[in-house]
Amino acid sequence: MDNIVLKALRERRSVRAYKPEQITDEELIAVLDAGTYAPTGMNRQDPWIVAVQNPDIISQLVTMNSKFTEQEGNPYYDAPTIVLVFASHPDKWSNGFADGTLVLGNMMNAAHAIGLGSCWINRERQMFETDEGRKLMKQLGLPEGLIGVGALSLGYPAKPLSTARPRKENYYRIVK
């Protein structure tokens, strides 16, 4: 069975090299809007999405994220846009983190569908548990009681996408 959605899901890859030019507002809104249509527990629409294109805030995010990784270079791969996703602390809503991951997945697939590249970035939970992170969350206009779920680097891919690696054997089971 095949259709354009299934084809796009098979062809999407994480992008770790971006062209420096900024994506259009129309492209950004299309990706963000796709995130809002991710399924959420009890349709609470708990996650909060923040797209950052401000170079000073991007620089701050790079510095913050770098403190939690041993890898060299920019953890957002010099993407011109960073999309942050937050959700309620598990004490307030147990599905918040899972809901936020679905939002990120929808946005990654939407980005690919319109010719953009993205990569899931980790460590936002640790970043936004710090005093600096909580201060930045307030600066971004977010309510208290949220946790960082993850982020996307987002932009135009600087090189062609790689082909998919073979799927592992026995990845799924069908029980009838």
**pLDDT reported for residue 117:** 98
Q: How far is CA 2 from CA 7, 27, 112, 163, in A?
A: 7, 26, 17, 18
Share of the chain above pLDDT 90, in %: 97
Nearest Cα to Cα of residue 14 among 79, 80, 84, 101: 79
Beta carbons of 99 and 46 less than 8 angstroms apart: yes
Exposure pattern of 86-118 as b/e (b: 16+ CB <10 Å)?
bbbeeeebebbbbbbbbbbbbbbbbbbbeebbb
Per-residue pLDDT of 100-119, as tens digits, reads 999 999 999 999 999 999 99
**pLDDT reported for residue 143:** 97
Per-residue pLDDT of 23-45, as tens digits, reads 999 999 999 999 999 999 999 99
Beta carbons of 67 and 123 less than 8 angstroms apart: no
Q: Report the pLDDT averaged over residues 10-14.
A: 96
**pLDDT reported for residue 12:** 96
Mean pLDDT of the chain: 97
**pLDDT reported for residue 70:** 87
**Candidates 3.40.50.300, 3.40.640.10, 3.40.109.10, 1.10.10.60; CATH matching 21-155:** 3.40.109.10
pLDDT at residue 71 above 90? no
Beta carbons of 36 and 49 less than 8 angstroms apart: yes
